[in-house]
Amino acid sequence: MICYLSRNYKGINNAANKAKTDIESVMATQSFRNVGVKQTRYTNIVAAFFMTLLSVLKCGFCLHRNDVLILQYPLKKYYTFVCRIAHLRHCRIVTLIHDLDSFRRQRLTVSHEVSRLNHSDGIIVHSERMKKWLQDNGVKANMEVLGIFDYLSDKRPTEKALSTSRCRILFVGALSPFHSDFLYKLGYSSRSFDMVLYGNGFDSDKFEGQVDYKGYIKSDDLIATAEGEYGLVWYGSSLKGGVGPEGEYLQYNAPHKLSLYIRCGLPVIIWEKAGLASFVEENDIGICISSLLELETVLSRITEERYRTLRANVSRVNERISQGYYCMEAIRKVCASLCVEIK
């Protein structure tokens, strides 16, 4: 039997919890068995701690011999414990990675994280580059690539007329100079496109040039109302890609905002060396660049016909991520590597 461990999530307004609860929903629709308690969303620290602890403890009693347990990682201090219990019950572990704490936040050493992940029998990673990085650092388990996170929502993007004036680039996220200083540097640059910003922390006093600041909006509402022609996937302090811890991490991870932009029906702009740049190119759903200073030239070359093609390709991928396609494909492949078939 394919199983998963549900737990407490402190709301789903952040990308990490939204991704995890979406994957739980996809697994539930496939009749995978939850060996933990029913999913909860307590924001109280004490209640959240005890509900997750209860789920972890229940797991040990609900697993059966030869089960495959899918764990969403990181699971903080419980991960190694759950893996050991599952192996004692003669079960196999499939780990679906959401974040690598040793890489971006540096809460763990690389050797510590690799030691944890080596409790897995199979691992689902974000990209080929993440796979290679883990292999180079000593992870032994078989790994399959997710490609992109699915994004569940009942909302659908509205049909938008193509802009006949200035192109608009949408960015969603933390908007303070501390988190997204590249935005303010882009504001100083000479440009013929407009910026549409959604999120918290925007400092209008430090932003030069025209900007359409929308404030914070829930993702479901954004999907139905997003304005702009492109969604920007960029991190760090520089107009050049891959600068700073967040920018460098983009080489390996699958940003959840990329999935959100696709759900909004928008082609994406991403760093050419990002982990998902190959996905963008293979599916022809956007533009890959080395620096935001290239946007003027690149955007000027995109004809109306070319843009329509990008939008049509985005619509095709949108259908897949709205139904859990990529998650299930990765689970099927990694289970097949363990000689377990999912019907």
DSSP string, 110-148: HHHHHHHHTT-SEEEESSHHHHHHHHHTT--SEEEE--S
Quick: pLDDT tens for 287-323: 999 999 999 899 989 999 999 999 999 999 999 999 9
Average pLDDT for residues 256-280, to the nearest whole number?
A: 96
Q: Do domains 2-150+324-337 and 168-321 have the same CATH topology?
A: yes
Q: What is the mean pLDDT of the chain?
A: 92
Question: Can you give the pTM of this predicted structure?
Answer: 0.94
Residue 165 CB-density burial (10 A; 0-12 exposed, 13-18 middle, 19+ buried): exposed
pLDDT of res. 24: 96
CA nearest neighbour of 236 among 179, 295, 290: 179
C-alpha to C-alpha distance for 144 and 335, rounded to whole angstroms = 10
Residue 203 has phi, psi (to 5 degrees) of -110, 95
Give CA angle at 254 (196, 284), nearest 5°. 70
Q: What's 168-321's CATH class?
A: alpha beta
Q: In CATH, what is the architecture of 2-150+324-337?
A: 3-Layer(aba) Sandwich (3.40)
pLDDT of res. 101: 87
Bridge partners for 198 per DSSP: 172, 215
Provide DSSP, 217-272: --HHHHHHH--SSEEEE--SSSSBTT-HHHHHHTTT---HHHHHHHHTT--EEEET
pLDDT of res. 30: 93
Average pLDDT for residues 130-140, to the nearest whole number?
A: 96
C-alpha to C-alpha distance for 177 and 140, rounded to whole angstroms = 40
Quick: pLDDT tens for 198-207: 999 999 888 8
- Angle at which helix 325-337 crosses helix 304-321, to 10 degrees, equals 60
Sign, CA torsion 144/233/108/39: negative
CB atoms within 10 A of CB 251: 19
Asked whether the predicted pLDDT for residue 164 surpasses 60, the reply is no
- Give me the residue spans of the domains in the chain: 2-150+324-337, 168-321
Asked whether the predicted pLDDT for residue 163 surpasses 70, the reply is no
Instruction: Grade residue 176 by pLDDT with cuts at 50, 70 and 90.
Output: very high
